[in-house]
Amino acid sequence: MNLRTLFYVLSAIFLGFLIPYLIATYLFNKEVLSPEQQLANAMWRGSIYSLFALGYALIFSILGLLNLAHSSVFMWGGYIGLMSVLKLDMPIWVAMPVGMIGGGLVAVSVDVIAFMPLRRRNAPRISQLISSIGASVILLSLATLIFSSTPKRFPQDSIDALPGTADKPLTWLLDNANVRITPIQIAIFVIPIVLMFLLEYMVNSLKIGKAMRVVAFNQRIARLLSINVGNIFAFTFFLSGVLAGAAGVLQGLAFNSMTPYMGATVALKGLTVIVLGGLGNIRGAVVGGFLVANIEIMSIALGYGWLSDAVVFSSLFLILLVRPQGLLGESGKMRA
């Protein structure tokens, strides 16, 4: 199962990076400057996209909801992690789980405020989407109220203090491949993959994961099996918040600039990611993340960076027209 995920990630890189690269170099004679570095850039960006989209996809696959407040949860998770470092002087490896759990709690409160009342009434999915927008607005305004809107960042030494990187230089230069990667970039690449495997393991093998899949399949059957559907909802939201929180902290660590608006850019990209991977397909979210990142990086590498958004959102649009179940989805089986 996990090998299959790896295979899909590789094919995403193949699709998004190698094919355009080969076409550009051999058909159009367009040179890609330092392709190795660009590939590294794409991997790095892709893992953040994937981690963000994972929680998005989880909620869609289990609960059938499009939670537009996910980007705000992402931002809150990042800020909770940041504040634990700035105000409580926690080391980063403590602050990261704190940010994740904080993100989880914020996500649960989004469920309680925006989704639960509607669920009781059996409201259409569209109303739930709109109410998640409302929750997102509230979270954003609260964040500007509490954290202020001036850009903030993790202090420099918090990154050096990542386990195993304390006495290493900030930049590793791999001599034989002309690539520069910092320790934090490696952490950002590794942590999402670990979390993905943990998530897959949980959903596929643990009892609660099985209960989640039953809820995804049919809520009435889940009730008949005496599964507490409410708890499963809360737990799923919590999990998605944990993933979003991890993505938020990593984004903050990686790019050194956090504002309450940091979710806005990634929100629509994340939407593209889960659509490309197949709405509600957890493995698809991972693949989609790498694919979108590769498309973006490739369009920049080929000198069309100004059109990268156009390319990304056109692919969102086109994939829905051509293959609404996404690249990995099987038709007729859209969820879970």
| Residue 140 interacting with another protein (CB under 8 A) | yes
The only residue of 180, 210, 213, 335 in contact with another protein, by rule CB under 8 A: 180
Residue 54 in the binding site for another protein (CB under 8 A): no
Give SS3 for 173.
Answer: strand
The token pair at 218 is: 């049919």
CB of 118 to another protein, least distance (A): 6
Task: Give residue 224's Cα distance to chain centre.
Answer: 33
Distance separating alpha carbons of residues 274 and 316, to the nearest angstrom = 9
The answer to whether 204 contacts another protein (rule: CB under 8 A) is: no
**In the complex, what is the shortest distance from the CB of residue 131 to another protein, in angstroms, rounded to a whole number?**
4
Please state whether 278 falls in left (phi above 0), alpha (psi between -120 and 50) or beta: left
In which region does residue 165 sit, left (phi positive, over 0), alpha (psi from -120 to 50) or beta (all else)?
Answer: alpha
Site for another protein in 57-86 (CB under 8 A): 66
Cβ distance to another protein smaller for residue 54 or 262 = 262
137 binds another protein (CB under 8 A): yes
Pick from 15, 112, 113, 202 the residue near another protein by CB under 8 A.
113
Q: Report which of 85, 91, 64, 58 is spatially closest to residue 241, judged by C-alpha positions.
A: 58
> CA-to-CA distance for 131 and 142, rounded, in angstroms?
17
- The single residue among 182, 193, 234, 323 that binds another protein, judged by CB under 8 A, is 182
Sole binder of another protein in the list 67, 84, 136, 236 (CB under 8 A): 136
Residues 272 and 51 sit within 8 Å (Cβ to Cβ):
no
Q: Nearest 5°: phi and psi at 258? A: -125, 130
| Cβ-contact 284, 332 below 8 angstroms | no
Q: Is 268 in the site for another protein (CB under 8 A)?
A: yes
**Among 201-209, 210-218, 229-237, 264-272, which window interacts with another protein (CB under 8 A)?**
264-272
Nearer to another protein, 214 or 254 (CB): 254
Contact characters 232-261, another protein, x per CB under 8 A: -------------------x--xxxx-xxx
